[in-house]
Amino acid sequence: MITRVLCLIVCSLLLVSGQDPQRPQYHVMPPSNWMNDPNGPMYFNGIYHLFYQYNPNAAYWGDMHWGHAVSKDLVHWQNLPPALYPDKPYDTGGVFSGSATIVNGAPILIYTGIGPVPSQCIAEPLNINDPLLLNWTKPPQNPVIPQSPPGLNLDGYRDPTTAWQSGDSYYIAVGAGISGTQGMALLYETNNFLNWTYLHPLYQSTNVSVSGDMWECPDFYPLGEQYVFKASTSNGDMWFVGDYNQSQMFSQINQGLYDYGKFYASKTFNDTRNDRRILWGWVAEMDSQDSANARGWAGLQCLPRELTLTPDNKVAANPIVELASLRTNYIPFGVVSVDSSGLVLNGISTGDQFEILIRVLSVDPGVTSFGLFVRQSPDFREQTAIFLMSALPPSNTDMPGLDYRGVAIETEDPEICQTLCYSDFMCRAWTYTPPGMEGPSAMCFLKGYPPALNPRQGCVSGRKGIVGIDRTNSSLATDADKSNQAAPLDDNPATLHVFVDHSIIEIFGNDGTSNIISRVYPTLPQSMGVSLFVEGQGQVLLSVDAWELGSIWSNSI
Ligand code: DQQ
């Protein structure tokens, strides 16, 4: 009650003044209230559609509808009324996530209805000639898959993929999981979208500690010469690159994360206009529910990202090139040399709404990290650091803390610990301790964030290259999450592409292979500064371009 009253006051004030300093201006989100997963993205009849999990009543999760936004260029958007809402016995508990498939020239939405049990349901356009596809109808055959396959003892069952065609049949996968055991995606076949046959798991987890025991929002698509399976897991949105064979089984050869930050429930679609694969993902808030209630909105979508397969079978995700149409002012900083005294980047007049692209030309060996401060106040009380670090070869030192796993190893060779770290996409740094120091046998500690070096006799430590964000001083607000985030770099630091949009920061490291989405909530109006910094001895040589960016919203596309 108190939060609703507070929201009424604060939200009205913000609406009257037209200003909400935390509200992003070039990220897709509803006019107000709660957004989560992207649903059913598609390109149809010259228009991009994005549906999404939406609570029309409040800035918290509940009463799931499918919100709807449309665009002609994937950059500028118009919000429309919700497309799907809970109105049938099989979806009164919510119209949960799902996908769109264009079949014989018309889209079919398939979603999870929450009724007495979760079921898979379809919806079709009421009027295929309506260019905006405002109204949708649910056929009487719903739910088309009334329940999960018997005998599997599933704890979760939801989020059907876009269908893919092979011969006369279409296939979908549905997310599922067995508590404490494994996540999985269940494969179904149909030839009419009304009658479905369960076949077998398309793919399932082999390691519950890596990918959790419930896979939400599965996705499956061809990319380059390979196939990609994606699951939203307890460790984030994991892609698996691999092979899809004649018997409809997937097997992986590589795995990683689209993004190491606040990114979840993502979904791709085939952009037939430009023959490419586009990714959307949900970015949640990282402050308190009270603050979200007071603002009157929560959640947004990441920038649309184009996916490509790298020669070594990684999925790279980069902002689509059309986002250049948002650039309103170019600030060419050119080639700059920076040392530990730093460099202020004057000239970006919208420090809460801009893009910066840094290319690393050279790094002196004594430099330990370098990067940029954004949302920086002149008195430095608020600032957020985005940084790059080169890999640190094994050295006789300790890196105490920040372990996500410690394993006993049978050998006294510290290189085994390094190999463990380098073969785990979650690992950023490692420390080896000899027998007798942390237990009877030698130990290997894997770290989720690079800790500071600390001398300690006998330890051996090393670090991967890192792109990271340090939010320790990002906000004076006590409820803002100030934990740090880092993504491992497989190669030397090369590029850092950053988008700042009020409370969201999107970081693309090394051409989209090491990405982090983060949220910051500066409180001071003057937290608009941008500057470069270097830690350690020596200089870095950087090429720097920046652009001020406009808004994506229009009343009609
Ligand atoms: N969100 C939806 C579910 C999905 C979850 C409900 C993932 O369908 O599993 O809002 O964020």
Question: Which atom of ligand 1 approaches the CA of 61 most closely?
Answer: 10
Q: Active site residue: 37, 91, 287, 501, which one? A: 37
Q: How far apart are CA 469 and CA 273, in angstroms?
A: 35
> What per-residue confidence (pLDDT) applies to 209?
83
Pocket probe mutation, ligand 1, options 39, 66, 96, 283, max atoms within 8 Å of Cβ: 96
Task: Provide the token pair at 397.
Answer: 């030192």
Which residues have C-beta atoms less than 6 Å from ligand 1?
36-37, 53, 64, 96-97, 112, 158-159, 216-217, 264-265
Ligand 1 mean position to 254 CA, how many Å?
26
> What per-residue confidence (pLDDT) applies to 7?
43
Instruction: Give the number of other Cβ atoms within 10 Å of residue 540's Cβ.
Output: 24
CA-nearest of 430, 429, 400, 445 to 489 is: 429
Q: How far apart are CA 110 and CA 175, in angstroms?
A: 13
Ligand 1 mean position to 216 CA, how many Å?
7
Ramachandran angles phi, psi of 293, nearest 5°:
-60, -40
Beta-sheet pairing, 297-298 with 33-44: parallel
CB-based contact 421:462 (threshold 8 Å): yes
- For residue 76, what are the CA distances in angstroms to 36, 73, 278, 326, 393? 20, 6, 16, 9, 46
Q: How far apart are CA 226 and CA 54, in angstroms?
A: 34
Pocket probe mutation, ligand 1, options 33, 34, 35, 37, max atoms within 8 Å of Cβ: 37
Ligand 1: which residue has its CA nearest to atom 6? Answer: 96
Question: Which atom of ligand 1 approaches the CA of 159 most closely?
Answer: 8
Query: Tens-digit pLDDT profile for the chain (557 aa)?
Result: 344 444 444 444 444 445 899 999 999 999 999 999 999 999 999 999 999 999 999 999 999 999 999 999 999 999 999 999 999 999 999 999 999 999 999 999 999 999 999 999 999 999 999 999 999 999 999 999 999 999 998 999 999 999 999 999 999 999 999 989 999 999 999 999 999 999 999 999 988 888 889 999 999 999 999 999 999 999 999 999 999 988 899 999 999 999 999 999 999 999 999 999 999 999 999 999 999 999 999 999 999 999 999 999 999 999 999 999 999 999 999 999 999 999 999 999 999 999 999 999 999 999 999 999 999 999 999 999 999 999 999 999 999 999 999 999 999 999 999 999 999 999 999 999 999 999 999 999 999 999 999 999 999 999 999 999 999 999 999 999 999 999 999 999 999 999 999 999 999 999 999 999 999 999 999 999 999 999 999 999 999 999 999 999 987 88
Ligand 1: which residue has its CA nearest to atom 11? Answer: 265
Helix intervals (H) in 222-332: 289-295
Pocket probe mutation, ligand 1, options 99, 159, 282, 301, max atoms within 8 Å of Cβ: 159
Ligand 1: which residue has its CA nearest to atom 9? Answer: 216
The DSSP 8-state label assigned to residue 77 in this structure reads: B
Ligand 1 mean position to 231 CA, how many Å?
12
Pocket probe mutation, ligand 1, options 63, 91, 158, 267, max atoms within 8 Å of Cβ: 158
The DSSP 8-state label assigned to residue 119 in this structure reads: E
Task: Provide the token pair at 363.
Answer: 């790094």
Question: Which atom of ligand 1 approaches the CA of 156 most closely?
Answer: 9
Question: Which atom of ligand 1 approaches the CA of 175 most closely?
Answer: 9
Task: Provide the token pair at 19.
Answer: 């200003």
Ligand 1 mean position to 362 CA, how many Å?
44
Ramachandran angles phi, psi of 154, nearest 5°:
-80, 150
Quick check: bond before 143 cis, omega within 30?
yes
DSSP string spanning 19-49? --TTS-SSS---SSEEEEEEEEEEEETTEEE
Contact partners, residue 427, CB within 8 Å, separation at least 6: 420, 421, 446, 447, 448, 464, 488
> What per-residue confidence (pLDDT) applies to 144?
98
Pocket probe mutation, ligand 1, options 97, 155, 186, max atoms within 8 Å of Cβ: 97
Ligand 1 mean position to 222 CA, how many Å?
24
Q: Tell me if residue 37 is catalytic.
A: yes
Q: Phi-psi category of 210—alpha, beta or left, where left has phi over 0 and alpha has psi -120 to 50?
A: alpha
Question: Which atom of ligand 1 approaches the CA of 216 most closely?
Answer: 9
pTM summary value: 0.95
Ligand 1 mean position to 431 CA, how many Å?
37
Question: Which atom of ligand 1 approaches the CA of 232 most closely?
Answer: 7
Ligand 1 mean position to 113 CA, how many Å?
11
Task: Provide the token pair at 434.
Answer: 């000899």
Q: How many CA atoms lie within 13 A of 144 on its CB side?
A: 24
Ligand 1 mean position to 39 CA, how many Å?
10
Ligand 1 mean position to 268 CA, how many Å?
16
Q: How far apart are CA 161 and CA 111, in angstroms?
A: 9
> What per-residue confidence (pLDDT) applies to 18?
52
Three-state secondary structure call for residue 292? helix
Question: Which atom of ligand 1 approaches the CA of 64 most closely?
Answer: 10
CB-based contact 447:399 (threshold 8 Å): yes
Q: Please list, residue by residue across 277-291, b when 16 or more beta carbons sit within 10 angstroms of its beta carbon and e when fewer do.
A: bbbbbbbbbbbeeeb
Ligand 1 mean position to 158 CA, how many Å?
8
Ligand 1 mean position to 84 CA, how many Å?
15
The alpha carbon dihedral of 374, 294, 481, 485 has a sign of: negative
CB-based contact 3:293 (threshold 8 Å): yes
